Amino acid sequence: MQPSRRLGAFQDGFAAALIAPALPADAARDVPPEIARLVAQPGFAVYRNTVLKGCIDALQANYPAVSRLVGDQWFRAAAATYARANLPRQPSLLDYGSDFAAFLAAFEPAAELPYLAGVARLDRFWTEAHVARDEIPVAAARVAGFAAADLARVVLRPHASARWAWFEDAPIATIWERNRAPLPDPEGEARVAPDPAWRAEGVLITRPRGTVEWMPLGQAGCAFLDACAEGGTLADAAMAALGADPQADLAALMARALDAGAFGGIALGEGGSLEPMP
């Protein structure tokens, strides 16, 4: 075997041994003998436990609403299952677990918690908004400066930090918000809010001014932003919004989205240059 391939095999085997509770008999035949000798040493378990704990801690830090919702013991058990099959691929653990929501959606013990994957998705959105590049949001005055005849051809690009989602089957946004930021009582302790109404909900998460913010967003608003993300004009976005909700107030929708800093680029006409403008 060439030296580079042997080194690669050693690294792959070492990584697998660190995360696995034990090497299966059939896998043990495929690892380099030096890895097998390492695994056989009692002290190797210290390193294995350290790596696994680091992965679990990173997931718990990246998904605080999920952890609060299910409790520490349940979360860490689920995180251990995830970590054993998914080692970090980046030096920064802030990005670790980017597909944790998909994992929870297929995780059998979470079958009785159908909203859990949605909550994880919003935790991930928060992280993505937090680390998105800085960008000056488009101001409402910039849009108002276009002639009425030109407004239909205006193209708005969503802000680099903007994330949004519509949840048809559950009040995911409310569940997430209550577990992400518990409500304080007058004495400064967390208090329990009443159960949310079981209905469809949407949410917009942005970071226009240095701090991650979020607000409720209706189905029309989500459809509007979807159209903008696809490069559609305001006319296209308006049609998409009305298609989702024929009663939507487009003027109010635009005003709320602009106030939330939902857009980072603006241009006139399809194919125009999208530049961030104050």
Q: ∠ CA(139), CA(266), CA(232), 5° rounding?
A: 125
89 and 182 share one domain = no
- Residue 155, φ and ψ in degrees, nearest 5: -115, 125
143 and 260 share one domain = yes
- Domain finish residue from 86, 106, 130: 130
Amino acid identity, position 102: A
Residue 278, CA distances (Å) to 40, 47, 135, 154, 239 in order: 62, 51, 10, 16, 26
Query: Distance between CA atoms of 149 and 116, rounded to whole angstroms?
Result: 46
pTM for the whole structure: 0.81
Q: Give how many domains the chain has, as a whole number.
A: 2
Query: Distance between CA atoms of 53 and 60, rounded to whole angstroms?
Result: 10
Query: Distance between CA atoms of 176 and 121, rounded to whole angstroms?
Result: 10
pLDDT the model gives residue 166: 98
- Domain finish residue from 99, 130, 161: 130
Q: ∠ CA(71), CA(73), CA(75), 5° rounding?
A: 65
155 and 250 share one domain = yes
Question: Could you say which residues of the chain have pLDDT below 70?
Answer: 1-6, 8-49, 182-194, 270-278
- Domain finish residue from 111, 130, 149: 130
- Residue 235, φ and ψ in degrees, nearest 5: -65, -45
pLDDT the model gives residue 28: 47
- Computed on alpha carbons and rounded to an integer, the radius of gyration of the chain in Å comes to 24
pLDDT the model gives residue 43: 62
pLDDT the model gives residue 159: 98
Residue 151, CA distances (Å) to 113, 142, 225 in order: 44, 11, 16
Amino acid identity, position 188: G
pLDDT the model gives residue 272: 47
- Could you tell me if residue 275 is inside a domain? no
pLDDT the model gives residue 119: 97
Domain ranges, residue 264: 135-268
Structure tokens at 14: 């070492």
pLDDT the model gives residue 84: 86
- Could you tell me if residue 257 is inside a domain? yes
pLDDT the model gives residue 20: 58
